[in-house]
Amino acid sequence: MSEDLVQAHSHPVGRFSYLRLGATTLGQLRRSRYVRGRLTPEEEGRKPDGIIFLPRGRIKAVVEVKTPSELTDRKLPAVIEKYSPIAAAVCNLLIITDGKKTYWINPHTQGTVRGDGQPIREDFFPRQVESRQLSEEASRRLAELVEQCDQVLTADNDDLQSIAILDPSQLAETVWQKIWITTGKEPEKCLYNVVEVFVFKFLSDTGVLTGTYSFRSVIDKLSEGSDVALDHYARMVRPKIRELFPAGSDRTTIINGTIFVNERNEPNTAQAQLFGEVIQDFQDFDDKNGSMRSIDRQFKTRLYESFLRQSAGVKSLGQYFTPRNVVQAMVRMSGADSLHDGARICDPFCGVGGFVLEAIAENANLLRQFEPENGRLDPKIHIRGYDKGSEEKEDDRTIILAKANMLIYFSDLLGRYNSPEYLREFSEHAFNAVFRLLRTNLGTFAVTSDEPYDLILTNPPYVTSGSRSLRNAIDAAGLKEYYPPIGRGTEALAIQWIVANLKPGGRALVIVPDGLMNQTDVLQRIKSECEVQSIVALPSRTFFSTPKKTYILQITKKTAPTTQNSPIFTYLVSEIGESRDARRIPIPEDDLMTMLLEYRTFVARGEQYSSTDPRAKTIAWTEFDAMSQWLVERRWSPEERRALGLEDEPTEVDEPAFHDMIARAISDLTDYLREARGDED
């Protein structure tokens, strides 16, 4: 029996297929690649009644159909003993049924499969499957049970445990590299297409996409050719995804790959073969590991970062990402868990949405906002992420990645609530409400009428080149009063936006470059309107594409024009839990974790805080207020730095910052010479 013939005569059971075999032997199935391992001559000649299999994959269950008289309590043990070796040769599950009762058997132990201590009694009746009488829900439930049995039944275990949590990082990296090498397209374009296929597979496995719109439907079309499968995906599946998740007011949705499907939403037939290979890669992963209904959280948080391990991705993709360990540390410092109904959160420069999504994932009070009540979503805590775009289609993609990222982060919710009504609510009140593309040259800087925020978490762009043009655009838009001409670079404008858009008592955690930390007028603006809580010095090359020295700056908007009295927490971070090179691999050294412990102790004890951690220091307000720059690592002496194993690393500075460094050096030398000669002022 050929593989194509098997496909043609099979019937769907969720994402699996059922096939009644008749005279087909296990040996014939092995030659058609439905049995991947070796069989003994005796096993090759055996003829099961039917099989459940993953299309273009392995057998997941052997089905034996008997009459009621053959399955009496007295005869059942003999039937199990006879057919278990047949199933054990090719899979982990034997299903025996008479059309009225169904027995789920572990063929390795010949024991009854149990769930929660009770025998599984789910009905599997082949006639219902063949006549398409099963509902989508029942079909999906059967497939989930078969998957659980395939994953967890062994020679030592008859009990069903929870579905394994998958980490598809290697799959993502492999597929990305395949697309990149085959097409020669820019790394970021390859990324968009990988994410699109991930979203497609994920939506299918969670039951959002079913029938002719499912991943299984495209797999079935592969038997007719890769071009047929791609045509079906482009003309049937993609429009359905757009229907289920309509674009927001910014005209962006969750898919926008242009390698397999062009900008006119037509199949790119030149890439049909590659499309078929990628789809098969995902199916092979499913065959070996199971569906993507339960995805490892670390994979969700690091989906995009995994692509940066490829050297080609560092420069092209690095601009989008703040390392997840840094994001998580900032979220845990933020107090987001104490926000109540009516609160507002923003990342004004959100990129692919890491800060917003981590805040939601880390805090139950935020995740609850997206649980339906009476079928409706009505978040009481308002969350917003802005990103800059234009009318150019390429500029849409970062916010599209953020929306797709949100879908993957919310996999558990979408698995539980996948009705069309919830999906519409999710589109309107979740990712389209949270993530918004601003199609102006000013981007977020043009947003001057927002209600103020209780919490801002962000890593704003920091460049000096081109900032004069941005300043001119601000003046031309009549926003000069909103952005007084202080400081330089986009980071100075970003700080002004953040300070202006915080509620009294609102908090911001911002990543800033060293160039901002010596701009006296900007620092004065911060001190006049905010209190400074903490400054954490990050190591060079924390970020993928720059050696620039950066800091986590935490400020709180003053509720009255008073002078700050509280001390400032500072900390030196040497390592962030991942290598600071192109590979970005996890490492055991992670000073961010100890920093968090020290920071929480500082918050709890206030002015009574003291520490034995040599990386932590507090600065009294009177001393801090007198500082002309906030490069806090200079508070550690050379001897202290050497004791911590800190070496001065080369850092990148812009031209104005370099001029400031020279001016400070000249001033310091002048003061030293004056003091050495005993000159008076």
The string of DSSP letters for 255-296 reads ----SSB-TTS-B-GGGHHHHHHHHHHHHHHHHHH--SSSB-
What residue has token string 């000073």? 591
CA–CA separation, 130 and 232 (whole Å): 24
pLDDT on residue 137: 85
How far apart, in Å, do the first and last CA atoms of the chain sit?
Answer: 99
What residue has token string 């071009």? 227
Summarised one tens digit per residue, pLDDT across range 484-505 is 888 888 899 999 999 999 999 9
Residue 116: CB atoms within 10 A of its CB come to: 7
pLDDT on residue 456: 98
Summarised one tens digit per residue, pLDDT across range 162-217 is 777 888 988 988 999 999 999 988 887 888 888 899 999 999 998 889 889 999 99
pLDDT on residue 667: 60
At 417, the pLDDT band (50, 70, 90 cuts) reads confident
Residue type, 172: A
CA–CA separation, 269 and 259 (whole Å): 10
Q: Are the CB atoms for 28 and 19 separated by under 8 Å? A: no
CA–chain centroid gap for 491, Å, is 26
pLDDT on residue 659: 63
Helix H or strand E segment including 380: none
Buried b (16+ CB within 10 A) or exposed e, 556-584: bbbeeeeebeebbbbbbbbbbbbebebeb
Q: Examine the pLDDT at 646 and tell me if it is beyond 50.
A: yes
Tell me the percentage of the chain whose pLDDT exceeds 90.
54
Return the closest-CA partner of residue 367 out of 350, 353, 381.
Answer: 381
Return the closest-CA partner of residue 204 out of 240, 151, 162.
Answer: 240
Summarised one tens digit per residue, pLDDT across range 369-380 is 999 988 789 999
Lowest mean pLDDT among 27-36, 206-215, 455-464, 482-491: 27-36
Predicted model pTM:
0.82
pLDDT on residue 398: 84
Residue type, 660: D
pLDDT on residue 309: 58
CA–CA separation, 338 and 362 (whole Å): 12
Return the closest-CA partner of residue 494 out of 477, 475, 471.
Answer: 471
Return the closest-CA partner of residue 246 out of 391, 385, 420, 370.
Answer: 420
Please state the rounded mean pLDDT for residues 4-12: 65
Return the closest-CA partner of residue 172 out of 310, 357, 16, 287.
Answer: 310
At 2, the pLDDT band (50, 70, 90 cuts) reads very low
Residue 504: CB atoms within 10 A of its CB come to: 11
CA–CA separation, 23 and 50 (whole Å): 10
Backbone phi and psi for residue 113, each to the nearest 5 degrees, phi listed first: -70, 135
Q: Are the CB atoms for 538 and 646 separated by under 8 Å? A: no
Q: Are the CB atoms for 93 and 84 separated by under 8 Å? A: no
Summarised one tens digit per residue, pLDDT across range 93-105 is 999 999 999 999 9
Backbone phi and psi for residue 54, each to the nearest 5 degrees, phi listed first: -85, 120
Residue 21 DSSP one-character state:
-
pLDDT on residue 373: 86
Q: Are the CB atoms for 493 and 483 separated by under 8 Å? A: yes
Return the closest-CA partner of residue 310 out of 183, 192, 176, 405.
Answer: 176
Residue type, 53: F
Q: Are the CB atoms for 89 and 46 separated by under 8 Å? A: yes
